[in-house]
Amino acid sequence: MANILKLEKRAAVVAALCEGNSARATSRLVDVSYDTVAKLSLELGEECIRYMDEHLRNLTCKRLEVDEIWAFCRCKAKNVPEDAAGQLGYGDLWAFTAIDPASKLIPAFRIGHRDGEHAAAFMRDLASRLAHRVTLVTDGHSMYPEAVESAFGSEVDFAQLVKEFKAGPPQSEGHDHRYSPQPCARQMKTVITGNPNKADISTSLIERSNLAVRMGMRRYTRLTNGFSRRLRNHTAAFGLFTFHYNYVRIHRSLRVTPAMAAGVTKRLWSIEDMVALLPDTVTGRKRGPYKKREEKAA
Count the domains in the chain: 1
Rg (CA), the chain: 20
**Among 10, 3, 1, 54, CA closest to 273:** 10
Interatomic CA distance for residues 201 and 149, integer angstroms: 18
> What pLDDT, on a 0 to 100 scale, did the predictor assign at position 282?
34
> What pLDDT, on a 0 to 100 scale, did the predictor assign at position 177?
58
Q: Which helix (H) or strand (E) holds 9?
A: helix 7-18
Q: Tens digit of pLDDT for each residue in 234-257? A: 999 999 999 999 999 999 999 999
Interatomic CA distance for residues 162 and 155, integer angstroms: 23
Residue 78 lies in domain: 2-171+180-297
pTM for this entry:
0.88
Query: Strand 63-73 to strand 135-139: parallel, antiparallel, or no bridges (unpaired)?
Result: parallel
Interatomic CA distance for residues 129 and 15, integer angstroms: 28
Q: Which residues contact 142 (CB under 8 A, 6 or more apart)?
A: none
**Among 286, 292, 293, CA closest to 44:** 286
> What pLDDT, on a 0 to 100 scale, did the predictor assign at position 170?
60
Residue spans of the chain under pLDDT 50? 1-3, 281-298
**Among 192, 187, 127, 120, CA closest to 158:** 192
Q: Tens digit of pLDDT for each residue in 65-120? A: 999 999 999 999 999 999 999 999 999 999 999 999 999 999 999 999 999 999 99
